[in-house]
Structure 1
């Protein structure tokens, strides 16, 4: 047996190390380690709860909106502050836009190169690529001339010797199975996605003032004014028209490029519908209410838990059932590290006890990660697009049911294929399509409210700290692009006494718990074939399918600034 190390895992946000035990050309065991710590929760202690969202969105430079939203919800929950309908709609538009953009970026720029051989695209016949493109979509850029131009652009990059973003690929790896013409199609859309997402996310600038780190969130609502009597009203008919254009562009890109590309690529990798499954337990807090935020029955993405792949039963989610373990994490808990703590009473007390650099391997029998190990009722859970789609499908949510059945029909497959590496990719695409179309409805609501004089966007109730209780606790949730995000706040004496964030990547990338149960990454890698240990493309496929964001989870750096070799095998 050999131990393989990938550190850092690239094409993700943050710093992740994967160690995998290889036996007979397959992964027999794996360990996931977050290698950085920052401690934003400590930074929030003692601050005014009304400004928590400003700091919380700095947890990550990419996932800014999602942390702002979970943070204001936590404080609003603690202080019992309802928000106006317009505030909910604006928040949903911003979060929904984040989801669509994030899913497109993930598929094309973070994950596609695990399946697409860029070098092979140089061998393609542009006329054949054009024929393929026109057979799967009515997208207008599909001529042989167009694809020939893309091919020439890629060739110029290769001939220059400065491969830039294509420099670190495992080109020519035997696990690449796409014909040259499909590779050229995907490379063309890779480049188009770069341009499209840059323009589309202007939604955040229009509704939030800037991107990243928008400035329009507010405990009690939003600062995004609709009132035409105010001198600096942010939302007006001109802005609505611009938002309409951006939303239409999202629907076109997802419907005519993203979904067809997924359906074009997947049949060449059918083995991956049975690889990378992992836990089989799925958690969704649910989100995007059509009316009352306190009524999960109105959520676009249902709230629930599915256990052991059993689609016949959706279990209720009780936030009290969540706990975090640090048995294998570089933290310490008051009272000992063997028992988990609910986030409402959680602690962020870093204590590094790992090997001193330079080192070859982690001490995996002890503590080996800066991520904690979240559990729900003692069970490890997968969160994210696949979890939401599984819970939504099992709950009978009409949009999710129709979208999933449509994709499965085209793939000639059953719902069991969802439990896989490719299943996560399909679920993310399905979710992007549902959200791209739902954005239009929210925008229409906002426009109608503006037309009818319904312009309230902020509720000033309990804005004055003198009206607050002596102490209060709140939970703020959000179904972020990468999964179930929770913020917990404890307020005492008009300031934050304790703050804890349990992010999607902590759920998925966390280490073993007290009982030795694996996290989602670790479980999903079991049985993965590795054709070439020096180029572990297969491992990256499954890890990337979760869309890791370690920046949200942890932050620390070796004092010696050590750089690791990628990969190494011992």
Structure 2
């Protein structure tokens, strides 16, 4: 049952009798071993302390060393079974830079179409089948009966578009397995995955994506097959955007003060997405210019203000801090890169220079307690190491793009204060314009709302990419791969947006092999523990201070407000930590009749 899956694993009074320790470990309806440990003041209805932990460690940064650089995208796509193609794409971007190769334009449009389909697929299945359950009838009935009662009496403002008369009808449609929207979303996930496969061959580990281009055979029929599914998806999104607006607006109305759930300071990072082949040559020296031509604008937003859209500045500001994680310092290790190709100094704690030194130990919330390091962005103007978050990806992408005002595809336009999305006529609806407006807060509700709008953004962008790809084919420009040679010495970096946020890959090549490699996906940015300065990670920060609106007491508490706060970030822990087996372990099998097949007694 969706309403009982988040079980409280511990509950005991602390020295302060007003505080109750509660832990959810693992957090469910996500991928990976995320634990949230809290202290809750039930008298004042508030979470007063939170620690975010990860109990798994993997190690791509270790076993990538010595590998052939041409294999980087195939290997790193296995970091995750959900966003593997995002890793492959980002790795290809880094390879293109290191190898000095510019793919043909058609290859870039094909990659953009594949990644757009991935955003549509992944955001859809998370929004309706995973995080949507937090807002379904069963969950709301059990955690907030008064809210359910009000939902039954509240008309849905956009009922004429989506067809659900009341907010309660929407909640019922989100019930797992039985709800109409829940089941429909599963069907949508099928044909959006088909869209991806048409472009990149296999989901989720692409088989036709390479440095220098793609192996996809471009034909008008290929793009037509994609288009038929895309128009079906656009028809779906015309219904879902106003539906989610109705649902999320209702929570603000039904629970005054709900904007504080999952709210934190506006510290958002976006590394940009969808390359423009007319601008991007993958030369680091030109990265500032071609980065700003991306169809999702890179940017860092601090307290609502866009402080940079420069990928070179974003790159140089990256710092990997150990903080409260299970690793040793690399202060005395080799420094791989002292200066970038423009001559700028590169910090010792930059991903190009990081050395991963795992140190397993007992969890101690006063010292070290997680396998996730603490990525930070160094703001030169303030001297602060900022704990940026991605807000689940969508809100950071929309916020940075809106403020920058650089994107104008016709189907999508950034205005400086919003993003306009223009849809053509479809089977069920006429032409429609949607507009995501910059919200007042970075909180649970607005992260979830942005996810729906970015699904629409990705669909509208795909319309533009299709036009460009078809024009290339009709003009006879059907080359999709450019040959290259692997240099003996090189560095490269790739910047992309995984579904749930910022993604970068940094590679150092020596003697024709990988000497250092560090992928940094969104979850390390979101799920990290307190850093060396004592600054909590974004999950911790978003949960600490969150008010409790759930009507259940400590004995039957489900923590729904905490879960909404955490799951609004779309956690995916496999991307946060990586596997390592050290020198290996020998397992002896005893076939004696006394003990049977297995380990010796006591082992």
TM-score, normalised to structure 2, is 0.76
- Aligned partners of 2:518, 2:85: CA distance in 1, in Å? 17
- Aligned partners of 1:489, 1:502: CA distance in 2, in Å? 12
Please list the CA deviations of residues 96-125 of structure 1 after superposition, one character each: whole Å capped at 9, or x if unmatched. Answer: 1101111111110110111112378999xx
Is 2:388 aligned against 1:381? Answer: yes
Deviation at 1:374, TM superposition (A): 0.2
Is 2:95 aligned against 1:75? Answer: yes
Following superposition of structure 1 onto structure 2, how do residues 190-269 of structure 1 map, counting pairs within 5 Å? 190-226=182-218, 236-256=219-239, 258-269=240-251
Please list the CA deviations of residues 482-512 of structure 1 after superposition, one character each: whole Å capped at 9, or x if unmatched. Answer: 1110011111111111111111010011111
Give unpaired runs (5+ residues) of structure 1: 145-177, 227-235, 356-362, 560-570
- Aligned partners of 1:8, 1:417: CA distance in 2, in Å? 31
Is 2:350 aligned against 1:351? Answer: no
Aligned to 1:461: 484
Alignment equivalent of 2:447, drawn from 396, 417, 424: 424
Deviation at 1:42, TM superposition (A): 1.8
Aligned to 1:12: 30
C-alpha contact 1:375 1:381 (8 A) present in aligned 2: yes
Deviation at 1:308, TM superposition (A): 2.2
C-alpha contact 2:25 2:35 (8 A) present in aligned 1: yes
Aligned to 1:325: 321
Aligned to 2:404: 395
Please list the CA deviations of residues 513-566 of structure 1 after superposition, one character each: whole Å capped at 9, or x if unmatched. Answer: 11011111111112212344431111000100000010111256999xxxxxxx
Following superposition of structure 1 onto structure 2, how do residues 159-558 of structure 1 map, counting pairs within 5 Å? 180-186=168-174, 187-226=179-218, 236-256=219-239, 258-270=240-252, 271-290=257-276, 291-293=278-280, 294=287, 295-310=290-305, 313-314=307-308, 316-317=310-311, 318=313, 319-335=315-331, 341-355=349-363, 363-377=364-378, 378-383=385-390, 384-397=393-406, 399-401=413-415, 404=418, 415-462=438-485, 465=486, 468=487, 470-530=488-548, 531=550, 532-533=553-554, 534-555=557-578
Following superposition of structure 1 onto structure 2, how do residues 91-130 of structure 1 map, counting pairs within 5 Å? 91-118=111-138
Please list the CA deviations of residues 262-296 of structure 1 after superposition, one character each: whole Å capped at 9, or x if unmatched. Answer: 11201221143343222321111122233322412
In structure 2, do the counterparts of structure 1 residues 406 and 472 end up closer, same or farther at CA, with 3 Å as the change threshold?
A: closer
- Aligned partners of 1:394, 1:201: CA distance in 2, in Å? 31
Aligned to 2:590: none
In structure 2, do the counterparts of structure 1 residues 504 and 405 end up closer, same or farther at CA, with 3 Å as the change threshold?
A: closer
Please list the CA deviations of residues 408-459 of structure 1 after superposition, one character each: whole Å capped at 9, or x if unmatched. Answer: xx99998443421111112212211111111011112111211111001111
In structure 2, do the counterparts of structure 1 residues 3 and 185 end up closer, same or farther at CA, with 3 Å as the change threshold?
A: same
- Aligned partners of 2:110, 2:37: CA distance in 1, in Å? 42
Deviates more, 1:67-76 or 1:384-393: 384-393
- Aligned partners of 2:123, 2:64: CA distance in 1, in Å? 30
Deviation at 1:80, TM superposition (A): 1.6
- Partner of 2:495: helix, strand, or coil? strand
Deviation at 1:143, TM superposition (A): 9.1
- Partner of 2:98: helix, strand, or coil? helix
- Partner of 1:118: helix, strand, or coil? helix
C-alpha contact 2:80 2:574 (8 A) present in aligned 1: yes
C-alpha contact 1:89 1:442 (8 A) present in aligned 2: yes
Following superposition of structure 1 onto structure 2, how do residues 79-90 of structure 1 map, counting pairs within 5 Å? 79-90=99-110
In structure 2, do the counterparts of structure 1 residues 137 and 218 end up closer, same or farther at CA, with 3 Å as the change threshold?
A: farther
C-alpha contact 2:418 2:435 (8 A) present in aligned 1: no
In structure 2, do the counterparts of structure 1 residues 269 and 211 end up closer, same or farther at CA, with 3 Å as the change threshold?
A: same
- Partner of 2:56: helix, strand, or coil? coil
- Aligned partners of 2:579, 2:97: CA distance in 1, in Å? 31
In structure 2, do the counterparts of structure 1 residues 121 and 335 end up closer, same or farther at CA, with 3 Å as the change threshold?
A: closer
- Aligned partners of 2:420, 2:113: CA distance in 1, in Å? 26
- Aligned partners of 2:447, 2:204: CA distance in 1, in Å? 26
- Aligned partners of 2:89, 2:402: CA distance in 1, in Å? 26
Superposed CA RMSD in Å reads 3.1
Deviation at 1:85, TM superposition (A): 0.5
C-alpha contact 2:158 2:246 (8 A) present in aligned 1: no
C-alpha contact 1:273 1:420 (8 A) present in aligned 2: yes
Please list the CA deviations of residues 332-391 of structure 1 after superposition, one character each: whole Å capped at 9, or x if unmatched. Answer: 123379x97110011222111224xxxxxxx11211111110000021101222112221
- Partner of 1:365: helix, strand, or coil? coil
In structure 2, do the counterparts of structure 1 residues 413 and 490 end up closer, same or farther at CA, with 3 Å as the change threshold?
A: closer
Aligned to 2:68: 48
In structure 2, do the counterparts of structure 1 residues 189 and 452 end up closer, same or farther at CA, with 3 Å as the change threshold?
A: same
- Aligned partners of 1:522, 1:54: CA distance in 2, in Å? 33
Deviation at 1:70, TM superposition (A): 0.7
Give unpaired runs (5+ residues) of structure 2: 1-18, 146-150, 281-286, 334-346, 379-384, 422-432, 586-603
- Partner of 1:288: helix, strand, or coil? coil
Q: Which has the higher contact order (CA 8 A, sep 6+)?
A: 1
C-alpha contact 1:314 1:394 (8 A) present in aligned 2: no
- Partner of 2:124: helix, strand, or coil? helix
- Aligned partners of 1:92, 1:119: CA distance in 2, in Å? 37
Please list the CA deviations of residues 136-193 of structure 1 after superposition, one character each: whole Å capped at 9, or x if unmatched. Answer: 3546xx599xxxxxxxxxxxxxxxxxxxxxxxxxxxxxxxxx8532322433111100
- Partner of 2:541: helix, strand, or coil? helix
TM-score, normalised to structure 1, is 0.80
C-alpha contact 1:273 1:417 (8 A) present in aligned 2: no
- Partner of 2:492: helix, strand, or coil? strand
- Partner of 1:75: helix, strand, or coil? helix
- Partner of 1:194: helix, strand, or coil? helix
- Aligned partners of 2:434, 2:456: CA distance in 1, in Å? 17
Q: Which has the higher helix share?
A: 1
C-alpha contact 2:117 2:195 (8 A) present in aligned 1: yes
